[in-house]
Amino acid sequence: MVRTVSERMRRWAAAVLGCLLAAPAAQALEVFTCEPEWAALVKALAPQARVTSATHALQDPHHIEARPALIGAMRRADVAVCTGASLEAGWLPMLQQRAGNARVFDGRDGMFYAADHVTLMHDHAHTPLDRSLGDVHAEGNPHLHLDPHKLKQVAQALADRLARIDPAGAAGVRQRHAAWVQAWDQHIARWEKKAEPLMGHALVAQHTTFAYLWEWLGLTQVADLEPKPGLPPTLAHLQRVLKDVAEDPPRFIVQASYQDPQAGRWLAARTGLPLKVLPATVTEQGRSATLEGLFDELIDQLLDALRASEARTR
């Protein structure tokens, strides 16, 4: 009798264990991001999530094709994380429409716009805009992720949103967010100390891609390689820039890695100014493959450009 009961208990335990092993694991959160910086932030807050980024560092986020793979990724998404402020206006609405996923329609919890949670530079909300002004965003400059303080604000809002969408993982998201904030504050203090030599210097750049970075570090963009925002550089415009910077030369020239480098090379060849091609977002490989690595790379490259500029004037 004892042996029979014992045998039954073993069989019951084996059956329970079999059910537990056969039970599907909790499904990972599916996250669609419009830009790599938001993919990196999601991975920091919810590393178990399956994340798809629509763009990479060598692409202009203003102009993306709504490819079938991206439509499929958005169709599966529990949440989509994008910049907003019309940065993706040329392709995101079409992607949302074709995917037909109500979870990530505008106004739903599953559609998160980073720009909704910070104050943007260059707000044109009360200024009449038309195509003659170029690619100007009425809401303001959307490249907010290059200010680490604004990125911290977005991280708080995103952590709250992820916790609301995925209650089962909420505790983990909040714990990782708290640890991330503590580490991020330490990074900011280190970056600001290291970048002090850059403060007060002038530069030439293309577009307003790095405007938040310049404001944070105390740099001034005195000329733009583009004749108007979003319009490609022309020879006539570059000649005007060359004339404008001749009397009071800036320290260096900066372009983003997704921009055609010809304009920067043209101006560098005629001025002798150092030219730096910088990643405007998190890269797929290398030092800038994380958010903290991106800022490390940007500051080091700018300091290198400043040293090169100082060396040529000695």
User: ∠ CA 269-272-274 to the nearest 5 degrees?
Assistant: 95
Give me the pLDDT at residue 6, please.
Answer: 55
DSSP-derived letter for residue 278 is E
Residue 156 has a CB neighbour count (10 Å cut-off) of 12
Asked if 47 and 98 touch (Cβ cutoff 8 Å), the reply is: no
Q: Please, are residues 260 and 207 in contact by the beta-carbon 8 Å criterion?
A: no
Judge contact between 221 and 214, C-beta under 8 A. yes
Alpha helices, DSSP H only, in 23-100? 36-45, 68-76, 92-99
What integer pLDDT is reported at residue 25 of this predicted model? 44
Superfamily of domain 196-312: Nitrogenase molybdenum iron protein domain (3.40.50.1980)
Residue 16's pLDDT is what?
42
Residue labelled with tokens 């079999």: 18
How would you write the pLDDT of the chain (314 residues) with one tens digit per residue?
Answer: 444 545 655 554 554 444 434 334 457 899 999 999 999 999 999 999 999 999 999 999 998 998 999 999 999 999 999 999 999 999 999 999 999 999 999 999 999 999 999 999 975 444 444 444 545 668 899 999 999 999 999 999 999 999 999 999 999 999 999 999 999 999 999 999 999 999 999 999 999 999 999 999 999 999 999 999 889 999 999 999 999 999 899 999 999 999 999 999 999 999 999 999 999 999 999 999 999 999 999 999 999 999 999 998 77
Give CA 308 to chain center in angstroms.
28
| Contact partners, residue 48, CB within 8 Å, separation at least 6 | 28, 29, 169
pTM passes above 0.85: yes
Domain map (residue ranges) of the chain = 30-192, 196-312
Alpha carbons 273 and 191: distance in angstroms, whole number: 25
Q: Specify which residues 275 forms β-bridges with.
A: 253
Fold: same for 30-192 and 196-312:
yes
Q: Which fold has domain 30-192?
A: Rossmann fold (3.40.50)
Say which residues have a Cβ less than 8 Å from residue 116's Cβ, sequence separation at least 6. 84, 157
